[in-house]
Structure 1
Amino acid sequence: MKKYVQEATDINVWTSLKEDTFDRGKDIREFIEGLELIEGNAFISLDAKWGDGKTFFVRQIEETLKYFRAKQMETEEKLLKDLESYEYLKESVAVKETTVEHIYLPVYYNAWMYDDHNDPLMSLLLVMTKQCGGAYNTKINTKSLGERLLAVASSLPISIKKINPATIIKDLQEGKMDILSAVKTEEDIKECVRDVFNDIIVEEAEKLVVFIDELDRCKPSFAIEMLERIKHYFDDERIIFVVSLNKEQLIHTISNYYGSEFDATRYLNRFFDVSINLPEISWYQKQKVQCTNSERFWITLIADELSDYYGFSLRDKLIYKSSIESLPRDVGDAFSQDKMYLNIFEVIIVLLDMVDAKEKKAFLEGKSNILIDLMPRIEIYKKYILRSFGIDIRDDCEEKLTEKYKLVQEVYEYVFGRDTEEYFKEADISRNLKEICIKACNGLKS
């Protein structure tokens, strides 16, 4: 199966910036211009539905800020040598159209990867120090960090002087120890966090921008504690937090955690100074990922219109596209009418696999009415039925269309729900059409 949905790896993010995938250059520019206006500490929520490209967007901003920071601090020759993303970003729309005066130190934190950690604050600090220590020539190192954290852990029931800081860091990273939980007072924790920031934010950096991603996918306890921790302990004026989330989903999570009577919306809103909705990708850009394939014209046209009808996100469109294009192009020794019905049945099975597992089960058992419900509503079905049955569009064809819709439903019920081997006389189809269809949807040739 051809993979259209790409992970937000460095190389994929750089390529998307270079090629201005889905016209995000303008959105990136406007977001960074907003950062430039912020004075002091800020907490920003970036809201979008799952699959609408939040991760790629925040990673694009992260890489753009890295580029500008490096350019502000280094010569062009050194950039070319040391900045791996230089050749990708130097001509990108996001870079060409954006002016950055402040120096930002961006950090990306995927909360979902760490939601089994005992303490969200500790895992975030470790990710921050690791990323900054690896990507930038900062003063941070595991030895100094270990010593700084140990300095406030006076209540641990062990002899601190005998502990190797490198061992402490290893235990912290593996979730075996949480030093902050042993600190005596809230002020000690704040002081510890502040000292870590002093090590991370070097003289050349004015602001630390922390992108917290995938928070809405975390366990409720972790997501809630993460928000409370960063709001309480990260009030340093040098830090801006950008939390990308599906606000509706996170509100649902909080409601389930605290109870239906709890005002989850107001609770969530109090964490953020600014709430931003990720701009939707234009209809024109979404068409670039439609399924249409000249070799399988009708099946891909049907799939395209169904993905629009169901309001698929960009990610879902890409997944659907790859699944449809992986369907075998041949149907063995099937008759011509077999192929016509397969074009209808296969697309629906792949669709239901993504949107409704219960309805898919019913469809495979011949108990679904989805076809007879959908066909009159989807314009491409009308064109396909007219073309397949040779109905002249110049005639009054509505009655004939209704008749053929019913025939398709009857064929479906015969193919998927029959309990008899009696041949279906009204349509010239194979007796094993169901097996052919299921094999195709499983990626197998008949």
Structure 2
Amino acid sequence: MKIKHHEIEIPEENPFVNCKLEREPYAKVLTSIVNTYADGFVLAINNEWGTGKTTFVKMWQQQLKNESFQTIYFNAWENDFDSNPLVAIMSELKTLTKADNKEIFKSVVEKGAVLAKNVVPALAKSLIKKYVVDIDDISLDAIENATKGATELLEEQIKDYANKKKTIHEFRTELEKFIQKSDNNKPLVFIIDELDRCRPTYAVEILEQLKHFFSVAGIVFVLSIDKKHLASSVKGYYRSTEINTDEYLRRFIDLEYTIPIPPQKAFSNYLFEYYGFDEFFLSSGRSRFPDFREDGNALLKMAETLFTTSNATLRQQEKVFGQTRLILKSFNSDQYTFAHLMFFLVYLKTMKLEDYSKIDRNVFSLQELSDLFASLMPTNVSSYGINFIYVQALLLYFYNNNREYQNRETLYEKDNEGKFVSLINAKLENKRSTLGDCFKHINEQWNFNDGSLKYLLSRINLTEPILMQ
């Protein structure tokens, strides 16, 4: 049984075969864009953290390789221990060297060496040593000599600036020759991932160096980013919250692409299968009980509903499914799981911990809890194939039973027409199902009507033993 979602296998011959998000068409779109603008540009794939960007770009990279593109994948976050990203990027480019382009790359390295070294601080240090030997023994002559040193320093800076400007041009010329010699009439696709997780200094320096040093024909840079987080890095680098980050990033990014949101049902089904829920729900010991036969389907419907309504990231969805699967191991095959309600509570603990804690501590009033549940459900609850009003009734009924007997409230009553009416306002009620009817139905279930929410909460809080099933 798995508790954590591992990296998806990417077969060389068919890289998208294990993609459950139906994203191969988007990779083909991007490939056509790369082919169309082969003279070089910067493409940003902008999606939030946890939406599967890394898996997508790795699958796309393999697809590009299969179509005879040269590609490089560079995880910026794993390389930001180095102070100069120029060295890291050059190291990646070195992997493209062959017998016929080795000398050209050597020339690129020579030009890059001038750009990489930090001339001014070293020069300043040597001048200080030359003119001010002992800081405590500063005389008028020392001040005069320091002034002379400052003049030398400025002259050296001017020379260094002119030299660097010339070297940048020479570096780009040699780099372009190297790329032309390395490719097969197709651009090099250089993927930079996790840039938005780097130290602000490193992230901004990569952007600046891409623009000034590596912007040459034949290289398409792909930045796999969450633009909001990268914008925070920019603000951190410049120590200003006033900077217009959209305008700033526009200097570096020529084209921005967002991977469309995957079909929720497909991904929920994939996670349900991946974590092996049917190993529990369809086990021989459990299949004997008619009451349990729809548990798996009910859990899936609740997952699809909550994740669609909340726009949870793929990573958050993986976490909720993984936690739920672990919790199921605390149930015997003959025990009620109230799968839809249990999944709702695990979702709350993962996504809305403060609300979950209030339920756990019995802080909410029944009306507040009813309103919370309704706020997380879609407007048209009937379209999801599950009776959400019944789940709401279970939540309120068991929550009420968590209280000491003398503190429990009356949940429903019979009106003058003989109908069962809830004493709690329920925003989800419809003509086919009412909260009062659901309370009445639960009250008549001898096998669980005395149950309390502690039955589920103790398992979700992992205070019940995990069974070896």
- Shorter-chain TM-score range: 0.5 to 0.7
Structure 2 Cα separation of the partners of residues 431 and 314 of structure 1: 29
How many residues are paired up? 364
**Matching residue of 2:82:** 117
Q: Counterpart of 2:306 in 1: which secondary structure?
A: helix
**Matching residue of 2:263:** 282
**Matching residue of 2:311:** 311
Deviations 1:288-330 (A, max 9, x none): 3364856143444433422222212233323322222222345
Deviations 1:264-302 (A, max 9, x none): 111111211222222332345334336485614344443
Structure 2 Cα separation of the partners of residues 118 and 111 of structure 1: 12
1:222-261 to structure 2, matched below 5 A, reads 222-258=202-238, 259-261=240-242
Q: In the alignment, is the contact (CA less than 8 A) between 1:291 and 1:324 conserved in 2?
A: no
Residue of structure 1 aligned with 2:170, choices 191, 194, 199:
191
Deviations 1:42-79 (A, max 9, x none): 1111111222222122222211221121xxxxxxxxxx
RMSD: 4.5
**Matching residue of 1:202:** 181
Structure 1 Cα separation of the partners of residues 265 and 433 of structure 2: 32
Structure 2 Cα separation of the partners of residues 442 and 189 of structure 1: 65
Q: In the alignment, is the contact (CA less than 8 A) between 2:53 and 2:224 conserved in 1?
A: yes
**Matching residue of 1:221:** 201
Structure 2 Cα separation of the partners of residues 248 and 26 of structure 1: 26
**Matching residue of 1:416:** none
Q: In the alignment, is the contact (CA less than 8 A) between 1:183 and 1:189 conserved in 2?
A: no
Structure 1 Cα separation of the partners of residues 215 and 453 of structure 2: 69
**Matching residue of 1:171:** none
**Matching residue of 2:407:** none
User: Is 1:63 equivalent to 2:28 in the alignment?
Assistant: no
**Matching residue of 2:416:** none
Q: In the alignment, is the contact (CA less than 8 A) between 2:15 and 2:60 conserved in 1?
A: no
Structure 1 Cα separation of the partners of residues 118 and 459 of structure 2: 69
**Matching residue of 1:272:** 253
Deviations 1:404-427 (A, max 9, x none): 8xx9xxxxxxxxxxxxxxxxxx83
Q: Counterpart of 1:289 in 2: which secondary structure?
A: helix
**Matching residue of 2:132:** none
Give the alignment's TM-score, normalised by structure 2. Answer: 0.63
Change (3 A) 1:442 1:320: farther
**Matching residue of 1:99:** none
Structure 1 Cα separation of the partners of residues 310 and 394 of structure 2: 24
Query: Which consecutive unaligned segments of at least 5 residues does structure 2 have?
Result: 123-159, 282-294, 398-418, 421-428, 444-448
Residue of structure 2 aligned with 1:365, choices 353, 361, 366:
361
* Stretch deviating more after TM superposition (434-443 or 23-32): 434-443
1:291-306 to structure 2, matched below 5 A, reads 291=272, 293=277, 295=281, 296-297=295-296, 298-306=298-306
**Matching residue of 2:31:** 32
Structure 1 Cα separation of the partners of residues 455 and 19 of structure 2: 47
Q: Counterpart of 1:248 in 2: which secondary structure?
A: helix
User: Is 1:439 equivalent to 2:462 in the alignment?
Assistant: yes
Structure 2 Cα separation of the partners of residues 335 and 204 of structure 1: 63
Change (3 A) 1:186 1:362: farther
Change (3 A) 1:200 1:33: closer
- Give the share of equivalent positions with the same residue, in percent: 20
Counterpart amino acid of 2:164?
T
Q: Counterpart of 2:191 in 1: which secondary structure?
A: strand
Change (3 A) 1:228 1:215: same
1:399-410 to structure 2, matched below 5 A, reads 399-400=435-436
Q: CA deviation at 1:230?
A: 0.5
Q: In the alignment, is the contact (CA less than 8 A) between 2:204 and 2:233 conserved in 1?
A: no
Counterpart amino acid of 2:361?
E
Of structures 1 and 2, the larger Rg is shown by 2
**Matching residue of 1:49:** 48
Q: Counterpart of 2:328 in 1: which secondary structure?
A: coil
Q: Counterpart of 2:462 in 1: which secondary structure?
A: helix
Q: In the alignment, is the contact (CA less than 8 A) between 1:41 and 1:237 conserved in 2?
A: yes
Q: In the alignment, is the contact (CA less than 8 A) between 1:48 and 1:54 conserved in 2?
A: yes
* Stretch deviating more after TM superposition (48-57 or 222-231): 48-57
Deviations 1:90-143 (A, max 9, x none): xxxxxxxxxxxxxx321111111112220122212212324x35xx887459x9
Structure 1 Cα separation of the partners of residues 177 and 56 of structure 2: 28
Deviations 1:356-388 (A, max 9, x none): 444444444333578433333434431435799
**Matching residue of 1:212:** 192
Q: In the alignment, is the contact (CA less than 8 A) between 2:171 and 2:213 conserved in 1?
A: no
Q: In the alignment, is the contact (CA less than 8 A) between 1:140 and 1:200 conserved in 2?
A: no
Q: In the alignment, is the contact (CA less than 8 A) between 1:112 and 1:215 conserved in 2?
A: yes
Q: In the alignment, is the contact (CA less than 8 A) between 1:289 and 1:318 conserved in 2?
A: no
Q: Counterpart of 1:241 in 2: which secondary structure?
A: strand
Counterpart amino acid of 1:313?
T
Q: In the alignment, is the contact (CA less than 8 A) between 1:46 and 1:242 conserved in 2?
A: yes
Q: In the alignment, is the contact (CA less than 8 A) between 2:393 and 2:438 conserved in 1?
A: no
Q: In the alignment, is the contact (CA less than 8 A) between 1:289 and 1:321 conserved in 2?
A: no
Structure 1 Cα separation of the partners of residues 272 and 74 of structure 2: 33
* Stretch deviating more after TM superposition (261-270 or 369-378): 369-378
Q: CA deviation at 1:248?
A: 2.5
Structure 2 Cα separation of the partners of residues 36 and 291 of structure 1: 38
Q: CA deviation at 1:190?
A: 5.0
Deviations 1:162-213 (A, max 9, x none): xxxxxxxxxxxxxxxxxxx999624325534654564565354332211111
Counterpart amino acid of 1:119?
N
Q: Counterpart of 2:207 in 1: which secondary structure?
A: helix
* Stretch deviating more after TM superposition (392-401 or 318-327): 392-401
